[in-house]
């Protein structure tokens, strides 16, 4: 990586997301996150951005860290399908209960 290359907005968003993950894992306080996130938006080069995370360990890829792996969208669809199935079963049981008690 050429540290003198200009940083893009996508680079800045990626670093803020990484800082947020480190904050949720307890490596940074909210004040430290706020200070570093503010510095992200004034950073001009990739080297400036790298300096903000240099003392933090590398994080695993969020998609790879998901249980069962796979596509995060597919995982969300599967969870929604399970939720729908539970709701439908609950309605059927409630309907059966009301039919029996009348």
- Tell me the two tokens of residue 83: 């939720």
DSSP secondary structure of 31-55: HHHHHHHHHHHH--BHHHHHHHHTT
Determine the pLDDT at residue 84: 85
For the entire predicted model, the pTM comes to: 0.60
**Residue 6: what are its φ and ψ, rounded to 5°?**
-70, 140
pLDDT tens for residues 19-69?
Answer: 999 998 999 999 999 999 999 999 999 999 999 999 999 988 665 555 555
- Tell me the two tokens of residue 36: 């570093």
Residues 6+ apart with CB under 8 A from 47: 3, 4
Residues 6+ apart with CB under 8 A from 39: 48, 52
């Amino acid at each position: 990586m050429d540290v003198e290359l200009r940083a893009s907005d996508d680079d800045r968003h990626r670093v803020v997301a990484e800082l947020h993950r480190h904050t949720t894992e307890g490596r940074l306080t909210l004040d430290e996150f706020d200070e570093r996130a503010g510095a992200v938006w004034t950073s001009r080069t990739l080297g400036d951005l790298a300096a903000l995370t240099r003392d933090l360990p590398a994080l695993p890829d969020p998609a790879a860290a998901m249980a069962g792996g796979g596509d995060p969208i597919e995982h969300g669809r599967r969870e929604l399908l399970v939720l729908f199935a539970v709701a439908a079963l609950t309605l059927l049981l409630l309907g059966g209960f009301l039919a029996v008690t009348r």
